[in-house]
Amino acid sequence: MLHYKQKKNQTSKGNRLLISVTVLGSAGPLRFVVNEEELVTAVIDTALKSYAREGRLPILGSDLNDFLLYCPNAGTDALGPLDTIGSQGTRNFMLCKKPQPVKRSEENDMLSVKESVPSAARKGNGTWKSWLNKSLNLKISSH
């Protein structure tokens, strides 16, 4: 009968993984160790706490229900909150805020902005920068 020592990165709950979580809009990834059996919600919570503890910008908040975790190699669908992190077979993830639904008043504001934009700018007859320069009559003087 062969006896073997349990590997260092194995515990009674499973393997531990060093994962990298890139936060959309942040300078660099967060790296931390998780158990492969941990749920996606626990990983999001750990990432948000680590992000806040490091004082990173932009400020994200702490409500883990406002965020989705993506696996860049697995397609465009976000991971389910009850999925295990080790089931993906990868160690790189991306954390993004959930898209916020447009409120009714914001839709009306967007319509009024669209109506105030000249039709030439809306049709794409130039870039928005050229339209802005023309409409504001910005001229740079030499001295």
Question: How sure is the predictor about 5, in pLDDT bands with cuts at 50, 70 and 90?
Answer: very low
Model confidence pLDDT, tens digit, residues 97-128 = 988 777 666 555 555 555 555 554 445 556 66
Q: Is the pLDDT of residue 38 over 70?
A: yes
Model confidence pLDDT, tens digit, residues 120-142 = 444 555 666 665 566 565 455 45
Average pLDDT, integer, range 64-91: 88
Place of tokens 């130039």: 126
What is the three-class DSSP state of 65?
helix
Beta bridge partners of 15: 10
- pLDDT computed for residue 107 by the predictor: 57
Q: Is the pLDDT of residue 94 over 90?
A: yes
Q: Is the pLDDT of residue 143 over 90?
A: no
CB within 8 A of 51, min separation 6: which ones? 23, 26, 30, 60
Spatial separation of the C-alpha atoms in residues 28 and 56, rounded to whole Å: 10
All structural domains of the chain: 11-97 (3.10.20.90), 104-136 (no CATH)
Tell me which residue of 122, 79, 94 sits closest to 26, measured CA to CA: 94
Model confidence pLDDT, tens digit, residues 46-57 = 999 999 999 988
